[in-house]
Amino acid sequence: MADVNLNVGGTIFQTTTQTLTKFPDTKLGSLKKNFSMDNSPTTFFFDRNPDVFNSILDLYRTGELHFPSYFCGATIRNELKFWQIDKTYVSECCLESLYRYDDEMGILSEIKSLQEKKVLDIPEDECREGCPRDFLWRLLQYPETSRKASVFSVVYLFMVLLSTSVLFISTDPDLRQPIGSTENATSSNDKTLMYTHTSVPTSIWIIDISCGIFFTLEFFIRVMVTPQRWRHFFCCPLNVVDVIVITAFWMFNCMVHVGPVFLHRKTFSFLVMILASARLLQLCRFYRFMCRFSSFDVINLAARASVGKFGILIALFTLSNLFFGYLIYYVEFDQRDSFNNAFVGFWWAVVTMTTVGYGDIVPTFFLGRVVAMLCALTGILILAMPIAIVTSNFTLYYAKLKQYTMHRKESKQKENCKKKEKKKKKNLCKTVSPISVLSVKPIR
Amino acid sequence: MADVNLNVGGTIFQTTTQTLTKFPDTKLGSLKKNFSMDNSPTTFFFDRNPDVFNSILDLYRTGELHFPSYFCGATIRNELKFWQIDKTYVSECCLESLYRYDDEMGILSEIKSLQEKKVLDIPEDECREGCPRDFLWRLLQYPETSRKASVFSVVYLFMVLLSTSVLFISTDPDLRQPIGSTENATSSNDKTLMYTHTSVPTSIWIIDISCGIFFTLEFFIRVMVTPQRWRHFFCCPLNVVDVIVITAFWMFNCMVHVGPVFLHRKTFSFLVMILASARLLQLCRFYRFMCRFSSFDVINLAARASVGKFGILIALFTLSNLFFGYLIYYVEFDQRDSFNNAFVGFWWAVVTMTTVGYGDIVPTFFLGRVVAMLCALTGILILAMPIAIVTSNFTLYYAKLKQYTMHRKESKQKENCKKKEKKKKKNLCKTVSPISVLSVKPIR
Amino acid sequence: MADVNLNVGGTIFQTTTQTLTKFPDTKLGSLKKNFSMDNSPTTFFFDRNPDVFNSILDLYRTGELHFPSYFCGATIRNELKFWQIDKTYVSECCLESLYRYDDEMGILSEIKSLQEKKVLDIPEDECREGCPRDFLWRLLQYPETSRKASVFSVVYLFMVLLSTSVLFISTDPDLRQPIGSTENATSSNDKTLMYTHTSVPTSIWIIDISCGIFFTLEFFIRVMVTPQRWRHFFCCPLNVVDVIVITAFWMFNCMVHVGPVFLHRKTFSFLVMILASARLLQLCRFYRFMCRFSSFDVINLAARASVGKFGILIALFTLSNLFFGYLIYYVEFDQRDSFNNAFVGFWWAVVTMTTVGYGDIVPTFFLGRVVAMLCALTGILILAMPIAIVTSNFTLYYAKLKQYTMHRKESKQKENCKKKEKKKKKNLCKTVSPISVLSVKPIR
Amino acid sequence: MADVNLNVGGTIFQTTTQTLTKFPDTKLGSLKKNFSMDNSPTTFFFDRNPDVFNSILDLYRTGELHFPSYFCGATIRNELKFWQIDKTYVSECCLESLYRYDDEMGILSEIKSLQEKKVLDIPEDECREGCPRDFLWRLLQYPETSRKASVFSVVYLFMVLLSTSVLFISTDPDLRQPIGSTENATSSNDKTLMYTHTSVPTSIWIIDISCGIFFTLEFFIRVMVTPQRWRHFFCCPLNVVDVIVITAFWMFNCMVHVGPVFLHRKTFSFLVMILASARLLQLCRFYRFMCRFSSFDVINLAARASVGKFGILIALFTLSNLFFGYLIYYVEFDQRDSFNNAFVGFWWAVVTMTTVGYGDIVPTFFLGRVVAMLCALTGILILAMPIAIVTSNFTLYYAKLKQYTMHRKESKQKENCKKKEKKKKKNLCKTVSPISVLSVKPIR
């Protein structure tokens, strides 16, 4: 009955010619012309994995191509290629292992490209190793390369913390001192008057200026020694922010000391406020610092990967907010002073759906409360989805980064070991099996 | 000892006749009549997968039918059918792989049917490709087919956003202008008076009317060119909503300008409020727009799949609310002005269990606070379950849709390639294996 | 070299005698006495699964016992038993598949026992099928058995909803009417006066009494026809609750109409309040109704399975509350009127940790706010754990129940089919394979 | 064509010499020197698992090393070692099974080390079993070893609960009694006056002192009988806390009764407050008690394992708080009395991002509300990540602890059984297979 023998890597598979001729376009189907005319079984040898071949042969036997879930997507693809079977033959129930592989490879390549982007060396022809430019660049960019660089890194972090503290402290009206003569700067609560009539104490002002000088110097040195063209350098958002922050900082300090003389009070107040709020961007320096940690990369990548899926969920969330916000406005129509317009309803809907629930606006009418209940439950369920996405992306990227880091570490150790071996002409790195090697002599 | 040889696809399995006769109803059991009388082993050949046969034979050996977890449900079913073994023999611990397959196929078929429903073409006999009706239908329905259609799609979205903005802006009492003579429309906070005494500014009114005309036209064109029978067309909820919204829009505009003359103030106010709130339904146009994105399908399907499981959880949530609401009413019995009746208790329970916590009603008595703690914890735990359901459904449907989309894309590419091949009579698409094909010559 | 051949179910394994004698206590080790003295290889035949044997033999080769993760725990146990290898040999990294099986079997047996408990039939010797007692019992207990029973089930649910509505409505002071002469029942907000000076309107009172009669009758009929001994019947918590609710209901109605005459006002008020709050237990009737749905079983089982793990988490949550509650009391020591004693601090800590955040008590001092931030973050992280437990238990039980239900359904269909087959003497149910059965003739 | 036969544990693999010589550094590559010169196939025997060898041989065939996902990491490592193939050859898509093994072993070793740390016995040479010191140590440390110890454990828990209750009750101003003459201790709300002018009632004071004596005695006995050196004993944080709590307790009680005579009122008040808040640390006694439960170990380990990953997330959370806090300060610049300085903004941002939402400070301006919405959504998404980490760690550690506990239990049973067996010279524990052992006689 079985008139074809297939020897796949040593394992014999037997089947019939009818079976094999079902798919004539494939490799096994095209064997037909080699079949012997008499009924004696023909044997073909393929130097291939016999495990996967079981699934391949099942396509001919049952007409369906299923794969056990344990095969890696790359193995399936390799075998399909070899046996000249199209990917579209794979059954719908077995697509997962095939396409999950693409996802995982995508994640790995993202991780790799992010880690390569971080490495930005001065080309050897511009500057030898150890020249001042190279030294400064390593000092600023690679805290892990030398002791001095890591000390600088700590100093940088300290200055960032200091300038942020100053930023926050300078907004406290109780600490500020009235400018010039003790005018009628009575109501310290009136924030618009604060910047025109009071200034920070001298001690804090000195710290602030010191921080400013430090960051300005750091920035100019970075501009000088960067191996990137300036065109590329100023395309990087973090560098653009640095320019803005440094400009805003010096303009703000000039303004505060010189401004009141030249400018009208109102213009002055407005300009000061704009410049002060621009200094908020200096928080990006924390971001620059955090980029050095690989677990921050995970957050970054997970966030980026989630953005695509978020679009529609944010649209749905906004739509629900619009719906409930407009609904509550009409439902609480008879209540004075609580839902004055539909925008207030929208604000209330967001506060309710995120379960923040400030309680500044609360429905008091029976129907309004029913709407509120539905709104809260809808919000919990809609927000569960983006949370699920972020969570699963985070877990996935974290696991992959960990595996990749461990693998690269071992590869590097191996390379270093080989280099040393070459130098010493000794055989140090070979993984010698502690298990006794049995009988490798040929049996004749 | 072993007196039966089973050659399953080339692999030899040996067992005894006693073993095989344990289940006489099955295919292997029914081989009995073919056994040779002398003790020489008989060999049977089956053109089947030897991997799965191990598990099948274990049923005869140990009396239990276990499957390794890597087999796809379809494979197990095929083999059980072939070997004439009933599904009820499968051990309880191995049911998962068998029935998970049903789930996954169910999900896939849902995805398919949803995607097929979206495709609604004008039959070729009614209208040739390119005729005005076909052009209009494609313009309205398929933004991805032509450049004009995608431009129209953007215009449509813009009009939806515009009309929604107008809807919200028109509720702001500060922007509205008093009608006719500056009567005593003093208290702009009194929302019931707002619609009778004030109107939106002319500029906004013009925008509103323009939007109304656009959507009315769009709807009538859609009705004209739809390939569906009108009976079916008006069964679709989205179209019904469109009818309501357009009717409400025009009635509202007539009413506001003509109403005050003919109608009593109270009737007028009531009618205006009803019509204005009916315009809320125009948010469904966003929904129509979002339906075009496949990730919205996932949300849709996940929500639908969850509804069945939700019923009992919503019942449990409501029951807990009733319980805690009634309990807090009696526990805080001595407190005046806080829990006036059990409905207030119910409202408080919902606000607490969803962790919204407005703070409009708060227990102040010791026992009341204990009840509140239990209420909050119960709520967190009960709501964790529907969130888990939505989350897992969303993840599942998302993964399946992604795989299915990738698979269909590849199938289409293959088809297109084959079509071209036919035209050019060339062999372009064959997946040629880059690995050198070893020794396909027959070994005799 | 290889001097032992092991024929396991047709597959040949070759190894050496040294390898096998490593573990002399096991079945393979005890083969030693059967080894041939000369060096010619001996062959042993075992009628066993060759797949699992690979892992078994690896124990002898490498000294470690690892199992591929796809084997079901039952398979591993069977093979270990057969080869006389102790479970303690299994490597620590491969324990999961071994013990997960226990978990899953535990879940399945819980599901089974719960479903068996629900079936409570009148023994046939006490009452023939169709007698009034059996009819009444089925009417009350099994809504799915007859049309009348399902109608009764709907009526029951309606009455439960009605009586719950009455319960809630009767607490609303606006709907209640003053008793007797229109005394000084002025302040309807004073809830303690409400029950002594006002009563529900007559219409609602009639509905309430009707519901009461319905449930009393239903309960007495259930007591009469139950197949359980009364000793067992009154051990079931739901039945005890029924007794309490019915007693409380009638006592409450007597009290309200007769009480004011005989009792002192204060005693009366206290008794009425106790009885009214006892009526809260009637919500358990919803619970009885929900027990009929299998998805409620899942919630039930998941909740029970989680309780064991909860103990320590609730302890940890309480400990954190005590900690933060006491801490905030001292941190906000200088603030008057906000944290009067440590109990208030505890209440605040619970409200913050569950993220309910009513805002009735809020820290205003700098350090107090730092404590509040830590408190909120700690709460979010601690509560994430029980949520994770409930969620995973729920998902697990749900999947198992679904699989079990589908399996039982198929088993029943098979049984029914067989019964019919016997009657008709025809062969209807056999799963006939549509795939052509190849070559079952013996090859000699 | 196939000129090399590899007999791996009985299974024959056939391949070509070209294939094998691709990687000459490995074991199979080094077989070259043993190849026969004529074309007759050579056979090599390896006493190894044929299942894994398929993947190994695929490296030679396709140049890529993939492993099916079901192999345990230990198996892969063993085989790679034996075949002298470096780990760096493993394909990037198959790293998971290789490195997940490390993770799982890490978790297991953490669990083991924690459980070993708990066992702290008095060495046998210092004290025989049953001597008073051993008895006392077991009483204090191992509640499960004797009945007396478990009774003591309950008493200890009761005393902890009692002293905590006293701690909380003593802060309630309503229960405290004025000291000495009924001075002008009018405002009980003023907490700073409370400790100087009032004291706890005598009954509570007696309970407090009793608890204090109990814990002081318990601590001194523990110090006396501990098998640890005192140097190590006082390094354990829990013991240090005990010293602080006991000192604070007695100083507090002295102070309250003696202090007012010697000390100035302000100094006295300050000292009392410090000492009273130090007593908060007595909550650690709960912690000591909870450490006895293995499920608390899981929480402990999961928390420790999460801390590493938390760092960057807490940094990100703080950064977002700083950002939104500073932003809302400027956005709500025109609002008086709501965001007085940027610190208030920071506090508001934390309250919003954790969705606590007290409502003490709420943005009222349009832009401020937009910032609030973004802030709430950002918070929900950022906090989803640490929750995901804690949750998955908790689940992982829980599963591992459970498996490990079950495995150790079975190992112990086995050991006990063997010990008994030795004594009785009987064969009790052998796992006798109930399945009839077929044909172990050699086939010649």
pLDDT digits (tens, 9 = 90+) for D200-252: 888 888 999 999 999 999 999 988 888 888 888 888 888 889 899 999 999 88
How distant, in Å, are the alpha carbons of C115, C146, C332 from that of A172?
66, 76, 21
Residue in chain D nearest B442 by alpha carbon? D1
Looking at the DSSP assignment, which residues form a beta bridge with residue B443? A43
The answer to whether the CB of D195 falls within 8 A of the CB of D273 is yes
Phi-psi category of C127—alpha, beta or left, where left has phi over 0 and alpha has psi -120 to 50? beta
- Cβ of A359 within 8 Å of Cβ of B354? The answer is no
| pLDDT class of B321 with cuts at 50, 70, 90 | very high
Would you say residue C353 has pLDDT above 90? Answer: yes
Q: Is D366 on the interface with B (CB under 8 A)?
A: no
Q: List pLDDT tens digits, range A139-189.
A: 887 777 788 888 988 999 999 999 999 888 888 887 887 766 545 544 444
Q: List pLDDT tens digits, range D388-401.
A: 888 888 888 888 88
- Per cent of chain D over pLDDT 70 is 87
| Average pLDDT of chain B, as a whole number | 81
What's the mean pLDDT in B252-280? Answer: 76
Question: Rounded CA gap, B343 and B354, in Å?
Answer: 17
| pLDDT class of B322 with cuts at 50, 70, 90 | very high
Sequence-distant (6+) residues with CB within 8 A of A144 are A150
CA angle D194, D197, D198 (to 5 degrees): 70
Chain C nearest CA to B49, separation (Å) = 13
* pLDDT value of position B101: 85
Residues in chain B: 444
Would you say residue D72 has pLDDT above 50? Answer: yes
- Cβ of C355 within 8 Å of Cβ of A359? The answer is no
| Complete DSSP assignment for D218-235 | HHHHHHHH-SS-HHHHTT
**Residue numbers in C near B67 (CB within 8 A):** 72
C260, amino acid identity: P
- Per cent of chain B over pLDDT 70 is 87
* Residue among D434, C441, A324, A159 nearest B283 (CA): A324
Would you say residue B191 has pLDDT above 80? Answer: no
Sheet containing C4-8, strands listed edge to edge, beginning at the edge strand earlier in sequence: C11-15, C4-8, C42-46
Sheet containing D4-8, strands listed edge to edge, beginning at the edge strand earlier in sequence: D11-15, D4-8, D42-46
Would you say residue B432 has pLDDT above 80? Answer: no
- Cβ of C357 within 8 Å of Cβ of B357? The answer is yes
CA A232 to chain centre: 22
- Cβ of B439 within 8 Å of Cβ of D1? The answer is yes
The distance in angstroms from the start CA to the end CA of chain B is 34
Question: Rounded CA gap, A239 and A233, in Å?
Answer: 7
ipTM exceeds 0.85, yes or no: no
| Average pLDDT of chain C, as a whole number | 81
What's the mean pLDDT in A408-424? Answer: 80
* pLDDT value of position D192: 64
Identity of the residue in C16, C359, C438 whose CB atom sits nearest the CB atom of A359: C359
- Cβ of A387 within 8 Å of Cβ of B391? The answer is yes
The answer to whether the CB of C429 falls within 8 A of the CB of B84 is no
Give me the phi and psi of C126, to 5 degrees please: -80, -30
Identity of the residue in D319, D326, D380 whose CB atom sits nearest the CB atom of A383: D380
**Residue numbers in B near D1 (CB within 8 A):** 438-439, 441, 443
Q: List pLDDT tens digits, range A325-372.
A: 988 988 887 777 778 888 899 999 999 999 999 988 899 888 899 999
* pLDDT value of position C186: 47
Looking at the DSSP assignment, which residues form a beta bridge with residue C42? C4
Q: Which of C21, C61, C90 to mutate to test the interface with D (most CBs of D within 10 A)?
A: C61
- Cβ of B1 within 8 Å of Cβ of D438? The answer is yes
Q: Is B280 on the interface with A (CB under 8 A)?
A: yes
Domains of chain B, residue spans: 3-114, 132-290, 303-400
* pLDDT value of position B99: 84
- Cβ of C34 within 8 Å of Cβ of D440? The answer is yes
The answer to whether the CB of D404 falls within 8 A of the CB of D111 is yes
| pLDDT class of B371 with cuts at 50, 70, 90 | very high
Q: Is A439 on the interface with C (CB under 8 A)?
A: yes
Nearest-Å Rg of the Cα atoms of chain A is: 35
* pLDDT value of position B372: 93
What's the mean pLDDT in D273-302? Answer: 82
- Cβ of D1 within 8 Å of Cβ of B358? The answer is no
Of A39-53, B262-276, C391-405, D20-34, least confident by mean pLDDT is B262-276
* pLDDT value of position A187: 45
Would you say residue D437 has pLDDT above 80? Answer: no
Query: In B, residues 76-105, which contact A (CB 8 Å cutoff)?
Result: 78, 101, 104-105
The answer to whether the CB of B347 falls within 8 A of the CB of A369 is yes
Phi-psi category of A263—alpha, beta or left, where left has phi over 0 and alpha has psi -120 to 50? beta
Pick the CATH number of D303-400 from 3.40.50.1000, 1.10.287.70, 3.20.20.140, 3.40.50.720: 1.10.287.70
The answer to whether the CB of A16 falls within 8 A of the CB of B47 is yes
Would you say residue C321 has pLDDT above 90? Answer: yes
Question: Rounded CA gap, B174 and D302, in Å?
Answer: 56
Max intra-chain CA distance, chain C: 117
| Average pLDDT of chain D, as a whole number | 81
Residue in chain C nearest A1 by alpha carbon? C439
What's the mean pLDDT in B185-190? Answer: 48
* pLDDT value of position B36: 60
Question: Rounded CA gap, D142 and D150, in Å?
Answer: 8
Give me the phi and psi of C10, to 5 degrees please: 105, -25
Bridge-based pairing state of the strands A42-46 and A4-8: parallel
The answer to whether the CB of D277 falls within 8 A of the CB of C330 is yes
| pLDDT class of A309 with cuts at 50, 70, 90 | confident
Of A48-52, B181-185, D117-121, highest mean pLDDT: A48-52
* pLDDT value of position D34: 72
Would you say residue C73 has pLDDT above 50? Answer: yes
Would you say residue C432 has pLDDT above 90? Answer: no
| pLDDT class of B401 with cuts at 50, 70, 90 | confident
CATH topology of domain A3-114: Potassium Channel Kv1.1; Chain A (3.30.710)
Residue in chain C nearest B14 by alpha carbon? C10
Of B239-243, C283-287, D46-50, D256-260, least confident by mean pLDDT is D256-260
Q: Is A369 on the interface with B (CB under 8 A)?
A: yes
What's the mean pLDDT in D146-168? Answer: 89
**Residue numbers in D near A342 (CB within 8 A):** none
- Per cent of chain C over pLDDT 90 is 13
* pLDDT value of position D348: 93
**Residue numbers in B near A341 (CB within 8 A):** 168, 171-173
* pLDDT value of position D434: 38
* pLDDT value of position C426: 54
3 state SS for chain A:
CCCEEEEECCEEEEECHHHHCCCCCCCCHHHHHHCCCCCCCEEEEECCCHHHHHHHHHHHHHCCECCCCCCCHHHHHHHHHHCCCCHHHECHHHHHHHHHHHHHHHHHHHHHHHHHHHCCCCCCCCCCCCCHHHHHHHHHHCCCCCHHHHHHHHHHHHHHHHHHHHHHHCCCCCCCEECCCCCCCCCCCCHHHHHHHEECCHHHHHHHHHHHHHHHHHHHHHHHHCCCCHHHHCCCHHHHHHHHHHHHHHHHHHHHHHHHHHCCHHHHHHHHHHHHHHHHHHHHHHHHHHCCCHHHHHHHHHHHHHHHHHHHHHHHHHHHHHHHHHHHHHHCCCCCCCCCCHHHHHHHHHHHHCCCCCCCCCCCCHHHHHHHHHHHHHHHHHHHHHHHHHHHHHHHHHHHHHHHHHHHHHHHHHHHHHHHHHHHCCCCCCCCCCCCCCCCCCEC
Q: Is D261 on the interface with C (CB under 8 A)?
A: no
Question: Rounded CA gap, C219 and C243, in Å?
Answer: 8
User: Which of the pair, C361 or A39, is modelled with greater confidence?
Assistant: C361
Residues A432, D42, A44, D61: what is their CA dihedral angle, to the nearest 10 degrees? 20
Would you say residue B440 has pLDDT above 80? Answer: no
Of A288-292, C186-190, C310-314, least confident by mean pLDDT is C186-190
- Per cent of chain B over pLDDT 90 is 13
| Complete DSSP assignment for D295-359 | HHHHHHHHHHHHHHHHHHHHHHHHHHHHHHHHHHHHHTTT-TTT--SHHHHHHHHHHHHTT----
Can you tell me whether residue B15 is helix, strand or coil?
Answer: strand
* pLDDT value of position C439: 38
| pLDDT class of B434 with cuts at 50, 70, 90 | very low
| Average pLDDT of chain A, as a whole number | 81
Would you say residue D374 has pLDDT above 80? Answer: yes
* Residue among A408, A140, A440, A416 nearest A294 (CA): A408
Would you say residue B192 has pLDDT above 90? Answer: no
Of B185-199, B345-359, B404-418, highest mean pLDDT: B345-359
Q: List pLDDT tens digits, range A78-137.
A: 889 888 888 888 888 888 878 888 888 888 888 888 888 777 777 777 766 668 888 888
- Cβ of A2 within 8 Å of Cβ of C359? The answer is no
Looking at the DSSP assignment, which residues form a beta bridge with residue D259? none
Question: Rounded CA gap, C341 and D191, in Å?
Answer: 9
Token couple for B227: 């390939």
Identity of the residue in B31, B57, B95 whose CB atom sits nearest the CB atom of C403: B95
Chain C nearest CA to A74, separation (Å) = 20
Q: Is B373 on the interface with C (CB under 8 A)?
A: yes
Burial of C245 (0-12, 13-18, 19+ CB in 10 A): buried
- Cβ of C1 within 8 Å of Cβ of A443? The answer is yes
Token couple for D354: 């954790």
User: In this complex, how many residue pairs, one in chain A and one in chain B, have their CB atoms less than 8 Å apart?
Assistant: 250
The distance in angstroms from the start CA to the end CA of chain D is 33
Q: List pLDDT tens digits, range A264-285.
A: 777 777 777 788 778 888 888 8
Would you say residue A214 has pLDDT above 90? Answer: yes
Q: List pLDDT tens digits, range D93-130.
A: 888 888 888 888 888 888 888 888 777 777 777 776 66
User: Which of the pair, A305 or A318, is modelled with greater confidence?
Assistant: A318
* pLDDT value of position D301: 85
Looking at the DSSP assignment, which residues form a beta bridge with residue C177? C199
* pLDDT value of position B346: 92
Token couple for B188: 């702009």
What's the mean pLDDT in B247-262? Answer: 79
The answer to whether the CB of C390 falls within 8 A of the CB of B381 is yes
Q: List pLDDT tens digits, range B61-101.
A: 888 888 888 888 888 888 898 888 888 888 888 888 888 88
Q: Which residue has the tokens 């060759």?
A: C50
Burial of B197 (0-12, 13-18, 19+ CB in 10 A): buried
Question: Rounded CA gap, D14 and A47, in Å?
Answer: 7
Helix (H) or strand (E) holding B8: strand B4-8
Question: Rounded CA gap, B94 and C389, in Å?
Answer: 24
Query: In D, residues 44-73, which contact B (CB 8 Å cutoff)?
Result: 62, 70
Q: Is C356 on the interface with B (CB under 8 A)?
A: yes
* pLDDT value of position B169: 87
Chain B nearest CA to C399, separation (Å) = 8
Q: Is C374 on the interface with D (CB under 8 A)?
A: no
Chain A nearest CA to C222, separation (Å) = 37
The answer to whether the CB of C290 falls within 8 A of the CB of B316 is yes
* pLDDT value of position A371: 92
**Residue numbers in B near D358 (CB within 8 A):** 359
B194, amino acid identity: M
Bridge-based pairing state of the strands A177-178 and A198-199: antiparallel
Of A208-222, C216-230, D181-195, D207-221, least confident by mean pLDDT is D181-195
Would you say residue C48 has pLDDT above 50? Answer: yes
Chain D nearest CA to C309, separation (Å) = 7
Phi-psi category of B84—alpha, beta or left, where left has phi over 0 and alpha has psi -120 to 50? left
* pLDDT value of position C190: 61
Q: List pLDDT tens digits, range C194-237.
A: 666 777 888 888 999 999 999 999 999 988 888 878 888 888 88
Question: Rounded CA gap, C77 and C102, in Å?
Answer: 11
